[in-house]
Amino acid sequence: MARRKIKFSSDELARVLVEITGPVDWATLFGRPGPVELDVGCGKGLFLVQATSRDPELNMLGIEWSGRYARAAAERVLKAGVQERVKIARADARHLIAQYIPSQSVRAVHVYFPDPWWKKRHKKRRLFTPEFVAQVARVLQREGQLHIATDVAEYFEVIRNLVGSQREFVEIPPPPPPAGSTDLDYLTHFERKYRLEGRPIYRVSYRRA
């Protein structure tokens, strides 16, 4: 049976889709206290909804530069009723984190299936660079965590070398992936797609020392 599409008004969407143009004060952004985590390149927002549904204290900021995906993620958040705990900024995460996220203010950063940008001339668009890793280290609280998953073995090695060479990060076992028992019991949309295709998925996590 086809799922019924709920239409949300622009006012409702605006409760989730936020524009960040200056240093973020988390309590003001969310209107409540609580730990904050970032989902960088949140796509259609499955992880944002699953994570905040599991942990009612958690506040999550999704950062997504595609307007279409950011809107789809906002609709998913409204449908799940977690709009008080999730905000989504349509922005280049590299810029937003470097410019506007306060130091040591974030409990975890999640980067799931970052675009690999295969072509040589496009590789500079990759998210993981020494600058990005340094910014993640800056915004994480002590003992904060960085979680990464990708289906691209070559990019995985690049990421491990980049993050592993920073003395601020200590590798820890990644959390076990969801069982995949239902259509929504996956980490993210790309995780579901790739697991169903039988592709290997590479996961790594770090603790901010």
Binding site for ligand SAM (CB under 6 A): 41-43, 63-66, 69, 92-94, 112-115, 127, 188-191
The residue annotated as part of the active site, out of 115, 151, 183, 185, is: 115
User: Is 115 assigned a catalytic role?
Assistant: yes
**Nearest approach, Cβ of residue 96 and ligand SAM (Å):** 8
Helix axis angle, 130-139 to 93-100, nearest 10°: 40
The smaller minimum CB distance to ligand SAM, of residues 58 and 152, is found at 152
Q: Which is nearer to ligand SAM, 27 or 110 (CB)?
A: 110
Q: Which residue is closest to ligand SAM by CB?
A: 41
Burial zone of 163 (CB within 10 Å; 0-12 exposed, 13-18 middle, 19+ buried)? buried
Nearest approach in angstroms of CB 180 to ligand SAM is: 14
CB-nearer residue toward ligand SAM: 45 or 144: 45
Positions annotated as catalytic residues are 115
